[in-house]
Amino acid sequence: MPENNLKDSYVKFVRDFISTVRRASFYPAKHPIVISSIKNLHLELLEILKIKEALTLDISPENKVLLEGEVIDEKSSMVSEVIPYFKKFNIENLSFLRGISEGELQDLINIVIMDSTKIKEAGDITHLLNGKNAQHIKVNLFSYLKVKKDEEVLIGAKTDVQQKPEVSRLDVLRSKIKDLSVGKIVDEKEIEEIGKEVFGAVIAEFLEKKQIGASTKNILKKFLLHCIDLAGNLLRLKNGLIESGSSQQEADDFINKIEKEILQKPKKAKMAVLTDQQEKVIKENEELKLKLQGLQQELAQKTALVEALERQARNISDEKERTENIIHNMTDGMVAVDAEGRILMVNPTAALILGVTKEDIGKQIKDVIKDEHLLALVKNIPAGKADIIEKDVELYSPDESTLRVLRTSSAVVEDPNGKTVGMVTILNDITRQRELEKMKNDFLAKVSHELRTPLIAMEKSLSLILEKTAGPLSGDQEEFLNIADRNLKRLTALINDLLDLSKLEAGKMQLNRQPAAIDKVIAESIAVLGVWAQTKSIKLEQKTQEGLPELNIDPNRIIQVLNNLIGNAIKFTPSGGTITVEAILREDKEVEVSVKDTGVGMSKDELTKVFDKFYQVKGGLTTDIRGTGIGLTIAKEIVELHGGKIWVESELGKGTKFIFTLPLKDDTLA
């Protein structure tokens, strides 16, 4: 890495270190923002330590930041903000050694944000780091040496102990203040350096004695009177006292006293004529006081806002915990993935079904779930908004002796902008439910089959009697036998419907496909039901598009569908109404067949249930015989078995239209 780039990476590391400390002081230690910041900072440090054995950060006695022995000339104040943390622990230099772990870096940051009281109780930062076994972080502290009573010299600063530096320091400061007062010193940077020296002398004496002597106070007051920004300099002095170990109360009392002495009117005997500049300073100071009051009020408002946000955060946290408890205790499995297929959440039930552990959170679901059938249940996120998607899958044990059936309901999760961000899937073990359904279907099939034999015998016997093969019949006898024959045929149709439904649900119905013209199939159905329609004075008409291609269908099963739809239309259409059966070719290579009536229609509620087993639509004409409620269910299964779709359109009082589609012959055979 070039030298300039390396230096830039040093500066960036210090900036990011300060940012991470700020975040750690604001958020809880386990907060994702803190964890992410420390992780990124550690990776950044590792890149530097690939080139160097250690990275050392120094603070000079003149409060300059040095990285690897070079002063950082950083225009931004970000780097210089590391100084208060160094002063807080009396650190001269801090070194990060190759091999440092993320945990060691986190321990250092946690120590840096500790309360001053806890730090004093622990001793110093070296004791704290040793207690954490942070072997790859080395700290050197400034040391102080007593020169004489009430005076100290910083060991490591460029000062000769034998020359009584504090005495000469005050003399030098006094001389500089004099030059400042008479206008010999005008450079802003030089004035700023004088201010640092004055504040340093005041802070050192105050920390030792809890007060300052007359000479030091006189130098401070003269400097402050010369400064235009009196309030700003007093604030910086107060912050310096606090950072150096003074309590908030001690610092406030000291600053208030100095400010009062500077602003109070002098006695007449010692009254001096104020210069225009001093009058301007006093006026500006009063204005700054007013601004300070406004800032304090604003601070109070911000504090109240922060407290409100903290309460809101606690409420959100409580709500999150309640939601997680509900999800955790669900009897159904639940798994959530993001848009890239990474696992976000999984409850214990789903974890058991899918074989997922806590360690798999955040991984790609395709890398965790090895069973391809299970993976198909939860991995595919549809593009765009979609309704809830339901799937069933049958799973066998490795020896194929045990069968489990799972049903999933999946829903896409979107953000407020409508962008897909993930999917939530509910897993339900329906093995027992499937077993019960199979038992029911087997029972119905067996009973229906057993009933067919005696019914056929009864039907043939009645036919022979009605044909008068066995002898003549009286009028009453013939009427009663006709009633019995009609009901026997209805019972036979019911038995046949139950058998068909059982075969369809068991997947055992076989279609006898053959090329057939749909217009002829429709005509045959109309011919069968035309007499019934005529008895009710209902017009039954056929409209088919010319040139329709042949379809590869089971004609008898499609006639069964049409008979059911037309029969229902006749039941629900009053005398004088019209039923239209239409067939057209659609652009998507399908033939669309519809049965439209002018009957009583259906409500929106009924539209969603009309294809359910044993559901019967209300509002039929009282003169009609009510059906079994499975005709439309069978019709739907037959259409879907052909590869088509069926649906209904209706409004109450405006008739009903059933529509179904059938694929063309070529597509079906492909």
For every residue of 549-614, DSSP letters joined together read: PPEEE-HHHHHHHHHHHHHHHHHHS-TT-EEEEEEEEETTTEEEEEEEE-S----HHHHTTTTSTT
Bridge-based pairing of strands 539-544 and 578-586 is: parallel
Share of the chain above pLDDT 70, in %: 83
User: What integer pLDDT is reported at residue 551 of this predicted model?
Assistant: 93
The yes-or-no verdict on residue 413 having pLDDT over 60 is: yes
Let me know if residue 150 belongs to a domain.
no
CA 2 to chain centre: 42
Give the residue from 639, 643, 645, 635 showing the smallest Cα distance to 670: 643
Amino acid at 187: D
What would the two tokens of residue 203 be? Answer: 């802070």
pLDDT tens digit string along 617-646? Answer: 765 554 455 566 788 988 999 999 999 999
Q: Is residue 640 domain-shared with residue 587, that is, in the same domain?
A: yes
Q: Is residue 368 domain-shared with residue 440, that is, in the same domain?
A: yes
Of 509, 542, 564, the position where a domain reaches its end is 509
User: What integer pLDDT is reported at residue 283 of this predicted model?
Assistant: 81
Of 478, 509, 540, the position where a domain reaches its end is 509
Of the ranges 22-36, 365-379, 513-527, the best mean pLDDT one: 513-527
Q: Is residue 655 domain-shared with residue 555, that is, in the same domain?
A: yes
Q: Is residue 352 domain-shared with residue 455, that is, in the same domain?
A: yes
326: confidence class by pLDDT, cuts 50, 70, 90: confident
Q: Which residue range is the domain that position 567 belongs to?
A: 511-663
User: What integer pLDDT is reported at residue 661 of this predicted model?
Assistant: 95
Let me know if residue 668 belongs to a domain.
no
Of the ranges 81-90, 375-384, 599-608, the best mean pLDDT one: 599-608
Least confident span in 142-151, 204-213, 273-282, 496-505: 142-151
Let me know if residue 217 belongs to a domain.
yes
668: confidence class by pLDDT, cuts 50, 70, 90: very low
Give the residue from 237, 160, 235 showing the smallest Cα distance to 198: 237
Which position has the higher pLDDT, 245 or 155? 245
CATH of the domain at 615: 3.30.565.10
User: What integer pLDDT is reported at residue 656 of this predicted model?
Assistant: 94
Let me know if residue 588 belongs to a domain.
yes
165: confidence class by pLDDT, cuts 50, 70, 90: very low
User: What integer pLDDT is reported at residue 570 of this predicted model?
Assistant: 92
The yes-or-no verdict on residue 492 having pLDDT over 70 is: yes
Which position has the higher pLDDT, 649 or 196? 649
The yes-or-no verdict on residue 568 having pLDDT over 80 is: yes
Mean pLDDT, residues 589-614 taken together = 89
Let me know if residue 272 belongs to a domain.
no
Q: Is residue 527 domain-shared with residue 581, that is, in the same domain?
A: yes
Let me know if residue 640 belongs to a domain.
yes
The yes-or-no verdict on residue 502 having pLDDT over 90 is: no
pLDDT tens digit string along 110-121? Answer: 888 887 777 777
The yes-or-no verdict on residue 270 having pLDDT over 60 is: no
Q: Is residue 344 domain-shared with residue 323, that is, in the same domain?
A: no
Let me know if residue 314 belongs to a domain.
yes
CATH of the domain at 462: 3.30.450.20
The yes-or-no verdict on residue 158 having pLDDT over 70 is: no
Of 329, 346, 364, the position where a domain reaches its end is 329
Q: How many structural domains does the chain have?
A: 5
The yes-or-no verdict on residue 441 having pLDDT over 60 is: yes
Q: Is residue 347 domain-shared with residue 438, that is, in the same domain?
A: yes
User: What integer pLDDT is reported at residue 273 of this predicted model?
Assistant: 47
The yes-or-no verdict on residue 77 having pLDDT over 70 is: no
Let me know if residue 157 belongs to a domain.
no
pLDDT tens digit string along 450-470? Answer: 776 787 778 778 888 888 887
pLDDT tens digit string along 332-355? Answer: 888 888 888 888 888 888 888 878
Q: Is residue 502 domain-shared with residue 516, that is, in the same domain?
A: no
Least confident span in 202-206, 290-294, 354-358, 607-611: 354-358
Q: Is residue 323 domain-shared with residue 381, that is, in the same domain?
A: no
**DSSP code string of 619-639:** ---TTSPP--S-HHHHHHHHH
Which position has the higher pLDDT, 186 or 78? 186
227: confidence class by pLDDT, cuts 50, 70, 90: confident
144: confidence class by pLDDT, cuts 50, 70, 90: very low
Q: Is residue 360 domain-shared with residue 503, that is, in the same domain?
A: yes
Mean pLDDT, residues 246-259 taken together = 87
666: confidence class by pLDDT, cuts 50, 70, 90: low
State the Cα–Cα distance between residues 9 and 398, nearest whole angstrom. Answer: 56
State the Cα–Cα distance between residues 532 and 612, nearest whole angstrom. Answer: 26
Of the ranges 116-120, 152-156, 189-193, 526-530, the best mean pLDDT one: 526-530
Q: Is residue 288 domain-shared with residue 231, that is, in the same domain?
A: no
377: confidence class by pLDDT, cuts 50, 70, 90: low
Could you tell me if 388 and 410 are in contact, meaning their C-beta atoms sit under 8 angstroms apart? Answer: yes
DSSP conformational letter for 67: E
User: What integer pLDDT is reported at residue 386 of this predicted model?
Assistant: 54
CA 434 to chain centre: 35
State the Cα–Cα distance between residues 307 and 310, nearest whole angstrom. Answer: 5
Of the ranges 87-101, 219-233, 282-296, 519-533, the best mean pLDDT one: 519-533
Mean pLDDT, residues 201-228 taken together = 83
Could you tell me if 383 and 411 are in contact, meaning their C-beta atoms sit under 8 angstroms apart? Answer: no
What's the mean pLDDT when you consider all of the chain?
Answer: 79
State the Cα–Cα distance between residues 202 and 215, nearest whole angstrom. Answer: 10
Mean pLDDT, residues 245-251 taken together = 86
Give the residue from 617, 612, 602 showing the smallest Cα distance to 634: 612
User: What integer pLDDT is reported at residue 399 of this predicted model?
Assistant: 53
2: confidence class by pLDDT, cuts 50, 70, 90: low
* β partners of residue 393: 406
- Cβ-Cβ contacts under 8 Å for 334 (sequence gap 6 or more): 327, 345, 346, 347, 349, 350, 424, 425, 426, 427
- Cβ-Cβ contacts under 8 Å for 188 (sequence gap 6 or more): none
Question: Would you state the torsion angle of the CA atoms of residues 495, 497, 502, 505, taken in this order, to the nearest 10 degrees?
Answer: -170
pTM of this structure: 0.40
Least confident span in 357-366, 487-496, 576-585, 594-603: 487-496
Q: Is residue 83 domain-shared with residue 47, that is, in the same domain?
A: yes
The yes-or-no verdict on residue 87 having pLDDT over 80 is: no
User: What integer pLDDT is reported at residue 514 of this predicted model?
Assistant: 92
User: What integer pLDDT is reported at residue 578 of this predicted model?
Assistant: 95
Angle at 363 (CA atoms; ends 359, 367), nearest 5 degrees: 105
